[in-house]
């Protein structure tokens, strides 16, 4: 296993998509609860002032470079980072393999009804897939025990949590042992894209590393969050000094 690349205090695994999938299969086989994090520039920037998030990321079993900014940062710091491993694509690849491997999956998060639409889309794309439960991401602290009970009873091999950063990482970290799911991943807007609620950038924009711009065009409310990108560039550059 290659050593992690330190980007603003967070260790990111320099893996390809195929290597990440190999690790996921190893985690499935091990059967002990593992956490996978998808580190993009926004998450890494947030971790510089969120000690709890930074600690969770550094304790995660796999941290994939989700975003062109993360790959750029590693290269700028003189480290190897072979390619971007987008959380959305990683989730799709695991689901694509699930029917043949018999892995069971639980969808947790997004607005009411979205996870159910994403489930229908997954069943259309990956015939034979076993989505053993869904639950939206709107809940109170009092409802958490019933959510945990629902997930435990479903006995999934994979839990995809779409609660947004950093809530999904913090929630999974707190409940990881209790849930006892072999693999848990925070997947942000994955269900929204699958359900057709939110579009993903065209392939040419993905290749041109412009997904951040596409998201800003679709969601003007994100504009303030995009200020983190130039700050991220400056902070990475400063850390190189």
The rounded distance, in Å, linking the Cα atoms of 71 and 59 is 20
The rounded distance, in Å, linking the Cα atoms of 213 and 216 is 5
pTM score, whole prediction: 0.90
DSSP SS3 for 136: coil
Mean pLDDT by 10 residues, the chain (241 residues): 95 98 98 97 94 98 94 95 96 98 97 97 98 97 97 98 96 98 96 83 61 55 63 88 66
Domain enclosing residue 75, as ranges: 5-198
Confirm whether 221 is domain-assigned: no
CATH number, residue 144:
3.40.50
Confirm whether 232 is domain-assigned: no
Confirm whether 116 is domain-assigned: yes
Confirm whether 105 is domain-assigned: yes
pLDDT in tens, 218-239: 555 555 556 667 788 889 989 8
Confirm whether 217 is domain-assigned: no
The number of domains in the chain is: 1
Contact 136, 111 (CB under 8 A): yes
Contact 104, 157 (CB under 8 A): yes
């Amino acid at each position: 296993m290659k050593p992690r690349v330190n980007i603003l205090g967070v260790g990111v695994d320099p893996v390809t998509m195929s290597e990440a999938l190999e690790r996921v299969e190893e985690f499935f086989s091990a059967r002990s609860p593992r956490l996978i994090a998808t580190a993009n520039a926004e998450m890494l920037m947030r971790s510089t002032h969120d000690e709890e998030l930074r600690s969770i990321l550094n304790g995660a079993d796999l941290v994939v470079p989700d975003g062109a900014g993360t790959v750029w940062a590693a290269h700028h710091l003189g480290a190897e980072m072979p390619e971007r491993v987008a959380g959305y694509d990683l989730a799709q690849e695991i689901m694509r393999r699930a029917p043949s491997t018999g892995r069971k999956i639980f969808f947790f998060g997004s607005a009411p009804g979205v996870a159910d639409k994403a489930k229908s889309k997954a069943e259309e794309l990956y015939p034979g897939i076993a989505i053993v439960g869904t639950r939206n991401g709107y809940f109170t602290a009092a409802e958490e025990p019933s959510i945990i009970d629902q997930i435990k009873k479903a006995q999934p091999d994979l839990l995809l949590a779409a609660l947004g950063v950093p809530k999904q990482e913090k929630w999974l970290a707190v409940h990881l042992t209790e849930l006892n799911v072999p693999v848990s991943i925070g997947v942000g807007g994955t269900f929204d894209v699958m359900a057709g609620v939110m579009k993903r950038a065209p392939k040419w924009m993905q290749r041109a590393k412009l997904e951040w711009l596409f998201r800003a065009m679709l969601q003007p409310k994100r504009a303030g969050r995009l200020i983190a990108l130039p700050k991220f560039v400056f902070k990475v550059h400063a850390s190189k000094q």
